[in-house]
Amino acid sequence: MRTHEFQPGRLIAGLVLMAAGALYLLGAAGEADPPWFLVLLMTLGGLSFAAVVGLVTYAVRRDRRDRITESSER
């Protein structure tokens, strides 16, 4: 199996959506009664945070790649 790049934005998005799904399932089973807007805000906030982390990761990798190409051109 080939290795792939670690993508922290996707990890955060997956964890947030799993947590929101777990809250929804607990609410459907009657174990918990979370307000609907809490799950919505948690999902939107988590996805926004994942997008910011993904953009920062992309910027860091692009900068690192540019530095490597500059040093190899010299």
**pLDDT of amino acid 32:** 87
Going by C-alpha positions, the residue among 71, 64, 66, 45 that lies closest to residue 5 is 64
Residues, the chain: 74
6: left (phi over 0), alpha (psi -120 to 50) or beta: beta
In this prediction the pTM is 0.82
Residue pair 57/8 in contact (Cβ under 8 Å)? The answer is yes
From first to last of the 74 residues of the chain, give the pLDDT tens digit.
Answer: 788 889 999 999 999 999 999 999 999 999 988 888 999 999 999 999 999 999 999 999 998 888 888 777 76
Alpha carbon separation from 43 to 32, 36, 71 (Å, rounded)? 18, 11, 42
